[in-house]
């Protein structure tokens, strides 16, 4: 089970936590981080998402 902290629009953490998949209350947000990994040749490491995933399969 994945738990998410909730933040205000100004990224101030609140004392509220929800479970992934639950509706996020109005005017509250959760943070998402995207990471790109590069090697010494400035090449980006990429991977393909599994075909059976509900969100963005094969991406």
How many CB atoms are closer than 10 A to CB 43?
Answer: 9
Q: With respect to residue 58, please indicate whether it lies within any of the assigned structural domains.
A: no
Q: With respect to residue 59, please indicate whether it lies within any of the assigned structural domains.
A: no
Q: With respect to residue 52, please indicate whether it lies within any of the assigned structural domains.
A: no
pLDDT in tens, 25-39: 999 999 999 889 999
Q: Which residue in 40, 58, 39 sits closest to 50, CA to CA?
A: 58
Number of domains in the chain: 1
Tell me how far apart the alpha carbons of residues 38 and 8 are, in angstroms, rounded to a whole number. 32
- Residue ranges making up the domain that contains 17: 3-45
At residue 56, the pLDDT reads 84
DSSP string for the chain: --EEEEE-TT--EEEEEEETTSPPPTT-B-------EE-TTSPEE-----TT-SSSTT-
pTM, to two decimals: 0.64
Would the pLDDT of 5 be above 90? yes
């Amino acid at each position: 089970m994945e738990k998410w902290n909730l933040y205000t629009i100004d990224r101030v953490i609140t004392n509220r936590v929800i479970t992934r998949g639950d509706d996020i209350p109005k005017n509250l947000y959760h943070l998402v981080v995207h990471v790109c990994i590069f090697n010494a040749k400035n090449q980006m490491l990429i991977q393909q998402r599994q075909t059976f995933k509900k969100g963005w399969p094969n991406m």
